[in-house]
Amino acid sequence: MAITEDRPLELTTGETVVRQPLGAFTRPRSTTGWRSWLTTIDHKKIGILYGGTALFFFFVGGVEALLIRMQLAQPDGQVLTAGQYNQVFTMHGTTMVFLVVMPLAAAFANYLMPLQIGARDVAFPRLNAFSYWTFLFGGIVLNSGWFLGGSPDNGWFNYAPNSGLAYSPGNGIDFWNMGLLIAGIASLVGAINLIVTALNMRAPGMTLMRMPVFTWMALVTQFLLLFAIPVLTVAQFLLMFERLFGAQFFDPAAGADPLLWQHLFWIFGHPEVYIMILPAFGIVSEIMPTFARKPLFGYPFMVFSGIAIGFMGWGVWAHHMFVSGLGPVSVAAFSLSTMFIAVPTGVKIFNWVGTLWGGKLKFSVPMAFAIALVVQFTVGGVSGVSHAVSPSDTQQTDTYYIVAHFHYVLFGGALFGMVGGLYYWWPKFFGRHLRDRLGWWHFWLMALGFNLTFGPMHIVGLQGMPRRTASYPEGMGWDFWNFIETVGAFLIGVSFLVFAYNIIVSRNNPPAEADPWDGRTLEWATSSPPPVHNFDEIPTVSHLDDWWHSKYRETDDHRLERVEGVKSYSSPEGPSEPPHLPSPSYWPFVLALGLPFVAYGLLYSYWLCGVGGVLILAAIYGWSLEPSVDPGAHAHHDEHEHGHGHDDHDADAEEPVAVATTPEETTE
Amino acid sequence: MIKHLRRLALLPLVLLLTSCAKDAPQDYLQPEGTYAKKIDTLQKPVFILAAIVAVFVFALVAYAMWRFRERKDDDPNELPAQMHGNTKLEIGWTILPALVLAAISAFTLPVVFELTDEPDEYLAVDVYGQKYWWGYEYPGEGNSAYGIEEAGIRTANELHIPVGVPVWLTLRSNDVIHSFWAPKLNGKRDVVPGRVHTWKLEAEEPGVFSGQCAEFCGTSHAFMRLKVVAHDQASWREWVEQMQAPLEEPEAGSLAAEGFELFAQKGCAGCHQVDGAYEEVAEDAPAAPNLTKLFTRDCFAGCIYDLTDRNELEAWLRDPQRKDGSLMVIGELTEDEIDRLYAYLETLR
């Protein structure tokens, strides 16, 4: 229900009567320029926003990593003071987990899920935009410490009671707390959105067991987020009340047990690592079949092992606490459960090998990254099994052996997988390929740099080098490998400079086809990039890998034959009837903007909270009251957003709105 | 591509081989204490098994990459058989790893309990962790078999133990979470404020074993180090005797006597106890090492400085904040005052 004027507006054509919403409730119309990005609710644009922002934060986290490595290149490093080092390593970890890997996964999930299930957008497009802006503001609040008197410096896990006011009197910890509370809202809301999308908006004929594996893994990830983020939120509220309002949740002097923080954090923290890896597993499960020219080996096992990981991931958290004083019974129980979570993960590794086996393997750049994930995740996986042996873990925990483990699974696994996904889907997202030769330079430098950095960490960790230490003395036997690790880290940096260069020069590449890799899933059944409405007609699905099945059929002698004349689901002419699409909105941005005001207000001045509160209230009203579809909007959609180079229409120009509102468009 | 990958696969092997370092005082792959050895008998076989599995996977991947690579003379229109899976195989590679893991668990569980079991006889030591040093108290009660008298012994930074005797540590924190770790003797155990944890050590040969705090505890976490000094029988008796021998009063009129006075005047006694001389500390004083037998030790300030080097102690007295976050905040001392204090501290043996 929008506020409208009663009298008709006069139009030059005089053709129809349009009731124009007033003022703040007018939906924005831009489809190009910075305003279109600010007000977009298109899942594809939001995916790109997530990806671009994540890559920016990757640069920030990467610089932090290089600072760490410079400090540790030699014994008794003097590059950073201990206080500075503690801020840098804290921000490195927090940034990479919350501002890089998670949003990169969100980028892929946002862009691909609707396409892969044959939908036009997610279930709640404005909520989707809100998620992105909230994530961005959370990242900004988290990083404001660099400019506002000191960043958080208590590790990404921020244990109590060192996180309390007594031992961390500045605002650093508060920036960690507020920034992540805000970013947590983004993840939670995004999870709800994507779950509803996957469960409700699949194309006709797409049963759950015909959903692409990436969509499946993304769906399991959203369920994990749905239940894990609130646990972190609770922990962070307890901490916030302790630091700001005098609560004593973690104060031993008041009778509290500091281990409460650890339990809450790791009940979130362990599912969190599966949140980070499952999307990359999904990506690899898409890339490998494409470049092996055969289906993913054991689709049902792959789906069910992903679900199993999702469930079992809740039962292992205290393996992060084996030396915290839990007592032998708890330690034994979690040791057992941790061992067994290796089973569904191992299944995936073997199924990927099975996908390669008997295939016709094309070693493209995306395929290289996918294979690297399989190899490197195996290393991280087996070292993980060694930590599951809790007596061994009493030696290994808090050493560089653990740092090696999680970098192998998160960087060697998740990040390699996601970079492979970028190379794979880049033509789909941007309509142009990334250059092959530069891609290979990127891959080899990254693989070499990565293994040189994190391989030796296994050794120094086993030689007793603890984590989170600002420097180490001479005479411990750690000097040589630390130096090598620093060299490796700079190689990684160089590899990403190559990547950045590739991105820049690839803007001049020729336009990409709709289906350049001969893919199997529906995103390849539409143009590159897809039109704003994704598909001219919603596909009807009759198989797993339905797009592949429409391109190939089995002959009498069981060979596959290419079907002639298969058309994609989008064409330059566009759909015969303009599809119903949601309109852009700026209220998601405004609502998200209120959050950092509240956060800073709690730290500096309650007036700021008031401003934030007003923004939030106004945005809620605006969001609820704006018309569901701008009456004039859909006339524009079939003129823009088809492939590249049609950016010469400015939708903000004074074009006559010649379409009458029809009754069904104003219903909620 | 495959050639390069094969070469890369050698890298972990190379790394493994070079890990047998000679001068790595915290290397727990070369354990020396009873419990560290027990852990190692579990750790090494699991490493070997893990390496076998990893190499097996690499071999499969490398082989598949070589055997099934697209060749130049392949018919581009010919597609490989579209295998969807093999249920028997998949069930197999679900069950087999589960069985292997079950076997590892069966070996693991008893060791979990062995590591936490209280021994029948032991030397009891109370360990206190605080920013950024370790304190130790040997209670008189229950420790008479090891020569400890009723008054007990208080020391810091270096934990002295007799060889061949289980040492039962009772671990407490005076501020935040720290973790006590002497890798060659045993794994680590956290000290958590408001909780009491127990852990044990046993050295099999005399020696000095390096360790450090292993749970991030603040600015100078990296500088909260420790040593465990294991003595043979004779040496242990000597150490206990020396630690329990009453202090000699500094000679009247000597530099040390003046230092003794300064120790109170300058407020050192407000935080640091010297048994038999300065027993009472200020109420709100942060925990500070007991200095009674300071010069029986050879490291200080969280075991990061060398007590046998006069310059280091003087530098510390000039500016204890040279260790970031140190809770020792004192006014400025003149060089004269430092000389006198040093002279007094040197008598604390």
CATH number (domain holding residue A454): 1.20.210.10
Nearest to A156 by CA among A246, A88, A217, A221: A88
CB within 8 A of A577, min separation 6: which ones? none
- The Cβ of residue A88 has, within 10 Å, a number of other Cβ atoms equal to 23
Q: Is A61 on the interface with B (CB under 8 A)?
A: no
**Would you say residue A179 lies in a domain?**
no
* CA–CA dist A110, B8 (Å, integer): 35
Residues of B whose CB is below 8 A from A332: 108-109, 112-113
With a threshold of 0.90, does the pTM exceed it?
yes
Q: Is A300 within the bounds of a domain?
A: yes
What residues does B170 pair with on adjacent strands? B126, B198
Handedness of CA A652, A510, A280, A141 (dihedral sign): negative
pLDDT of residue A630: 63
Q: What is the mean pLDDT of residues A37-60?
A: 97
Q: Do domains B1-11+25-66+118-245 and B255-346 have the same CATH topology?
A: yes
Give yes or no for a contact between A635 and A659, defined as CB atoms under 8 angstroms apart: yes
Predicted confidence band at A577 (pLDDT cuts at 50, 70, 90)?
Answer: confident
Q: First-to-last CA distance in chain B?
A: 67
User: A19-28, A42-51, A275-284: which range is least confident on average?
Assistant: A19-28
Residues of chain A positioned with their CB less than 8 A from the CB of B89: 354
Long-range contacts of A317-321 (CB under 8 A, 24+ apart): A317/A263, A317/A266, A317/A267, A317/A269, A317/A270, A318/A263, A318/A266, A319/A270, A319/A387, A319/A388, A319/A390, A319/A393, A320/A262, A320/A266, A320/A269, A320/A270, A321/A259, A321/A262, A321/A263, A321/A266
Could you give the C-alpha distances from A62 to A148, A300, A415, in angstroms and in order? Answer: 21, 37, 13
Q: Which amino acid is at A99?
A: L
* DSSP state at residue A423: H
Cα-to-chain-centroid distance, residue B193: 18
> Which are the contacts of A588, defined by CB distance < 8 A and separation ≥ 6?
A41, A126, A127, A128, A129, A130, A133, A619, A623
Q: Which residue in A382, A474, A562 has the most chain B C-beta atoms within 10 A of its own C-beta, making it the best mutation to test that interface?
A: A382
**Is the CB of B29 less than 8 angstroms away from the CB of A462?**
yes
Nearest CA in chain B to A463: B27
The span from the first CA to the last CA of chain A, in angstroms, equals 8
CB atoms within 10 A of CB B100: 17
In angstroms, the separation between the Cα of residue A623 and the nearest Cα of chain B is: 45
CA distance B197 to chain A (A): 6
CB contact under 8 A, B60 and A353: yes
Tell if the CB–CB gap between A476 and B24 is shorter than 8 Å.
yes
φ, ψ of residue B329 to 5 degrees: the values are -110, 115
- Average pLDDT for A324-352: 97
Residue A640 located in a structural domain: no
Q: What whole-number distance in Å separates Cα of residue B224 and Cα of residue B71?
A: 60
- Bridge partners, residue B189, by sequence: B180
pLDDT band at A8 (very low <50, low <70, confident <90, very high): low
Averaged over A91-119, what is the pLDDT?
98
- What number is the average pLDDT over the span A69-98? 97
- Identify any residues that bridge with B191 across adjacent strands, giving them in sequence order: B178
Q: How many Cβ atoms are within 10 Å of B76's Cβ, its own excluded? A: 7
| B182 vs B161: CA distance, rounded Å | 13
Q: Cβ contacts of residue A75 below 8 Å, gap of 6+?
A: A471, A472, A473, A474, A475, A476, A478, A479, A482
Is residue A312 within 8 Å of A449, Cβ to Cβ? no
Distance from CA of B130 to the nearest CA of A (A): 12
- As a residue count, chain A comes to 668
Of A278-292, A401-415, A550-564, B158-172, minimum mean pLDDT range: A550-564
pLDDT at A631 over 80: no
What is the number of residues in chain B? 349
What's the CATH number for B255-346? 2.60.40.420
Nearest to A508 by CA among A431, A439, A438, A420: A431
pLDDT at B74: 83
For residue A377, list chain B residues with Cβ-Cβ distance below 8 A. Answer: none
Amino acid at B83: M
Inter-residue contact A294 to B79 (CB < 8 Å): yes
Q: How far is CA B72 from the centre of its chain?
A: 59
Q: How far apart are CA B334 and CA B264, in angstroms?
A: 16
Residue B278: beta bridge partners?
Answer: B274
Residues B224 and B191: beta-carbon distance below 8 Å: no
Please report where in the chains the tokens 């990403």 appear, as a residue.
A496
- The answer to the question of residue A295 being in a domain is yes
Query: How far is C-alpha B151 from the geometric centre of its chain's CA atoms?
Result: 27
pLDDT at A641 over 50: no
Structure confidence at residue A646 as a pLDDT band (50, 70, 90)? very low
Q: With respect to residue A666, please indicate whether it lies within any of the assigned structural domains.
A: no
Per-residue pLDDT of chain B (349 residues; tens, 9 = 90+): 555 555 555 555 555 555 555 689 999 999 999 999 999 999 999 999 999 999 999 999 999 999 999 998 888 778 898 889 999 999 999 999 999 999 999 999 999 999 999 999 999 999 999 999 999 999 999 999 999 999 999 999 999 999 999 999 999 999 999 999 999 999 999 999 999 999 999 999 999 999 999 999 999 999 999 999 999 999 999 999 999 999 989 999 999 999 999 999 999 999 999 999 999 999 888 999 999 999 999 999 999 999 999 999 999 999 999 999 999 999 999 999 999 999 999 999 9
Contact A391 B70 (CB under 8 A): no
Classified by CATH at the fold level, domain B1-11+25-66+118-245 comes out as Immunoglobulin-like (2.60.40)
* Euclidean distance between CA atoms A605 and A608, whole angstroms: 6
> Given an 8 Å threshold on Cβ–Cβ distance, is B112 in contact with A339?
no
Is A375 strand, coil or helix? Answer: helix
> Given this model, what pLDDT does residue A433 score?
96
User: What was the pLDDT predicted at B16?
Assistant: 57
- CB-based contact (8 Å) between A339 and chain B? yes
A362 chain-B contacts, CB cut-off 8 A = 70
Question: Residue B27's closest chain A neighbor by CA?
Answer: A463
In a domain, A332, yes or no: yes
pLDDT tens figures, A139-157: 999 999 999 999 999 999 9
Instruction: Tell whether A142 is covered by a domain.
Output: no
The secondary structure element, H or E, covering residue A533 is none
Q: How high is the mean pLDDT of chain A?
A: 91
- Give the domain range for residue A299: 277-512
A643 touches B: beta carbon within 8 Å: no
Domain boundaries, chain B: 1-11+25-66+118-245, 255-346
Of A300, A358, A458, the CB nearest to B83: A358
- Contacts of residues B237-242 at CB distance under 8 Å and 24 or more positions apart, as own/partner, are B237/B147, B239/B160, B239/B296, B240/B146, B240/B147, B240/B148, B240/B153, B241/B147, B242/B293, B242/B296, B242/B349
Q: Which DSSP letter does residue B250 get?
A: P
Chain B residues touching A92 at Cβ < 8 A: none
Q: What is the mean pLDDT of residues A232-248?
A: 98
CA dist., res. A332 & res. A316, Å (int): 11
User: Cβ of B50 and A383 within 8 Å?
Assistant: yes
pLDDT given for residue A656 in this prediction: 37
Nearest CB to B108 within list A153, A390, A469: A390
Closest CA of chain B from A455, distance in Å: 7
Which of A298, A347, A389 faces B43 most closely, judged by CB atoms?
A389
Identify which of A87, A81, A48, A41 has the alpha carbon closest to the alpha carbon of residue A64. Answer: A87
What DSSP string runs through A81-106?
A: -HHHHHHHHHHHHHIIIIIIIHHHHH
Instruction: For residue A478, count CB atoms less than 10 angstroms from its CB and return exposed for 0-12, middle for 13-18, buried for 19 or more.
Output: buried
Cβ–Cβ below 8 Å for B65 and A379:
no
Residue B311: DSSP 8-state: H
A331-336: average pLDDT = 97
- Distance of alpha carbon B54 from alpha carbon A382, whole angstroms: 7
The pLDDT of residue B76: 78
Q: Looking at residue A508, what DSSP letter applies?
A: G
> pLDDT tier at A649 (50, 70, 90 boundaries)?
very low
- Are A299 and B12 within 8 A, CB to CB? no
Residues 230-289 (A) with a CB less than 8 A from some CB of B: 252-253, 255-259
Which chain A residue has the Cα nearest residue B107?
A: A389
Portion 448-487 of A in contact with B at CB < 8 A:
448, 451, 455-456, 458-459, 462-473, 475-478
Q: How many domains does chain A have?
A: 1
Strand partners, B124: B168
Distant-in-sequence, close-in-space partners of A101: CB < 8 Å, separation ≥ 6: A54, A276, A410, A414, A415, A418
**pLDDT tens string A457-485:** 999 999 999 999 999 999 999 999 999 99
Q: Is the ipTM of this complex over 0.85?
A: yes
Strand partners, B153: B138
The reported pLDDT for the residue numbered A628 is 76
Q: Which residue has the tokens 């990467």?
A: A62
According to the model, what pLDDT value does residue A575 have? 83
Look at residue A24 in the predicted model and tell me its pLDDT: 63
d(CA B89, CA B92): 5
A444, part of any domain: yes
Quote the CA–CA distance of A378 and A370 in Å, as a whole number: 12
Residue B173 · residue A259 · CB < 8 Å: no
pLDDT of residue A637: 43
Cα B105 → chain centroid: 27
3-state SS record for A289-327? HHHHCCCCCCHHHHHHHHHHHHHHHHHCHHHHHCCCCCC
